[in-house]
Amino acid sequence: MKSTEFHSADYDAHGRLRLPVLFWCLLLLQARTWVLFVIAGSSREQGNTLLNLFYPDHDAFWLGLLPGVPAVLAFLLSGRRFAFPGLWRWLRGFLILAQLVLLCWQPVLWLGGDPVNGVGLALLVADAVALVWLLTNPRLRACFSIEKE
């Protein structure tokens, strides 16, 4: 049943609520290490240089892949979310947890000796905004609470 708080453009041809555009941006933000991994893999010659530029410590790179797993899973399941309603419902909680990890990640790196720079500060702000949006956006919440048809 359609909620009155959403516009008709928020629904697809089947009457299902569309995922917000910012959701896809949030997935890219959470899966940023995965995106870097794909870019580095596609540029064979500069791939290793690119990875060393962003992740001089290779252990940090592998750890950086972990918070992106829920985002990658959400991306893969988004088109079939009605086929896996239980898993889809739980996925929002995992996305929130991953966002919390990413929000804490940058300060932990700074406390570990990494220099505070503009990129790190921008990521910290983006992670904080993403977390607030994940927790408060009513349309996104409705997209994760799939009603039985």
Q: What pLDDT, on a 0 to 100 scale, did the predictor assign at position 147?
A: 60
Provide DSSP, the chain.
---TTS-GGGB-TTSPBPPPHHHHHHHHHHTHHHHHHHHHHHSTTTHHHHHHHH-SSHHHHHHHHGGGHHHHHHHHHGGGTTTSHHHHHHHHHHHHHHHHHHHHHHHHHHHTTPPP-HHHHHHHHHHHHHHHHHHH-HHHHHHHSPPP-
**Mean pLDDT, rounded, for 63-76:** 94
Q: What pLDDT, on a 0 to 100 scale, did the predictor assign at position 100?
A: 97
Q: What pLDDT, on a 0 to 100 scale, did the predictor assign at position 31?
A: 94
Q: What pLDDT, on a 0 to 100 scale, did the predictor assign at position 4?
A: 52
Query: How does pLDDT run across 12-51, given as a tens digit for each residue?
Result: 888 788 899 999 999 999 999 999 889 888 887 788 888 8
**Mean pLDDT, rounded, for 120-130:** 95
Q: Which residue has the higher pLDDT, 147 or 3?
A: 147
Q: What pLDDT, on a 0 to 100 scale, did the predictor assign at position 139?
A: 92
Q: What pLDDT, on a 0 to 100 scale, did the predictor assign at position 90?
A: 94
CB distance 35 to 28 below 8 Å: yes
Q: What pLDDT, on a 0 to 100 scale, did the predictor assign at position 1?
A: 46
